[in-house]
Structure 1
Amino acid sequence: MRPSEREAWALVDRHLHLGEDSPTSFYDKKRIAMCLAPVLEGPHRVVVEVGSGYGGTTQCLSRMDGVSVAVGVDADRTLILKSIRPGFPASYLLANAEKGLPLRTASVDALIASEVYEHLFHPDAFLEEARRIVRPGGRLVLTTPNTESLVLMFLRRLPRRWAQRILTREAEYRKYLHPEFFGDTMADSVHGHRVEGAGLREMEALAPRFGFRPHRGATWGLPFSMGFWGRLPRGLRRSLMGRLHSLAVGLRHIVVVWEREGGAGTG
């Protein structure tokens, strides 16, 4: 684990109380820590999170040493209102990143978009906006479901109805998360998935098209169900998640860090 990752975990533990006993909460803490770590690695004074949801990541950013401006952006007014909490000097904007952000060109040191890409109707429009607002040498941190995961590769070999049954075995709502297997079931909603996600090779090829260079990428997540994860001893969860993340092969999500071309980078 990099020093920045340990510091990110400590930051999340200190400021977010999501509940260590909940498998979903632990998963969220891991995701947030992964997004914070690249920001801790360099001088990033102005940081923006697109798809800020309930504001957990943005709140942590606002308490991070070296960050003077932390802004959360979401297209859902209700979530924006729920994000505002006393004691966290974060700002929030109601905006749709695909339609343009009310931010100056090259004004952002780091842009975070965690579990956003799969919801976008026009991913290219978002990446063009990222190109515009991130300064040369700045960073884009992105997470999304992994289309090259071992789980999806296995499901693609099954008859469609079998794959659908497996995907919805834990919960019926999961059909909204897998358009490859169910089609676009939430065409008019920002909460459904438009695409299944992306793979590391796809994102590596995409970066230069939008003025970025790939800095690093990995897969992360669980190769088994949340139900099984919830039965593991608490102390084993973090250790196992870290070991799986270090393997960087075939897990359920990806995390990529891009650097904006035209600068010396942030190391």
Structure 2
Amino acid sequence: MKCLVINLDRSSDRLAHMRAEFGRIGVAFERVVAVDGHSHPELEQQPQHPMYGPRQLSSSEIACLHSHRACWSILARGEARYGAIFEDDVVFSANASCLLADCGWIPADADIVKLETYFSKTIIQRMSISAGHGFSVSRLCKFHPGTGGYIISRQAARDLLEATERINLTADDLIFNPAFATWSSNAIYQLVPALCAQDQVLGDRALGMPSLLDHGRECKWLASGLMTKRRRPMTEKIRIEIGRVVEWIVDFCKLRRRTVIPLASPGPRD
């Protein structure tokens, strides 16, 4: 399976990290030069999805989307049915090569398979399909952030290119957020346990590679006023709790389960 890694020209340390990670699991990869938001502040002037309201996307967030679009273009022009895309701060599980070596384990109807975990609660279907080597896949039913690692079909890559031709949104909202139209048009699966995770979410196991998007994103949130905390009235708190109970009942009836996706053991690292 073709593996693409998004990497900024100024992030040679992260490229070295990815060479070590892919070398550790014995898989080849192709580097895709990332679009640098620092060099293209004009990206903020491009149209963005109306669902963001007053929260303007940062140039780095939009550049991240364009970097993923560069990968989709490569896969859309290729002959392979599936390809894998990674950001340059992921850490792989020890047996990642078993799944990246071929695509025979991918469900026939899958458009996208999320390979990573963000260690945040999400919802997946209770029914799972074995992927072999101790992994399984289940349909993803709720937003699970992050685009650090995922498999995408050639057709889905073409569809996402078309969907983002004239408008911008964050890459993980586009792919993994049910609030956006692209979600309903794709069959999206979650790999369990995850095959990789971004270094920033690994806690005491992290190597010290923070997100390159956080600063610009936080500045835009502050400027929008959306980070200002307000005291919720009791009626709103009650309504939220009732909503949670209703969601739990619906998930139970639809054979869904709430869970935090674990990460398969990364194994020893140099």
Greater CA radius of gyration, 1 or 2?
2
Normalising by structure 1, report the TM-score. 0.24
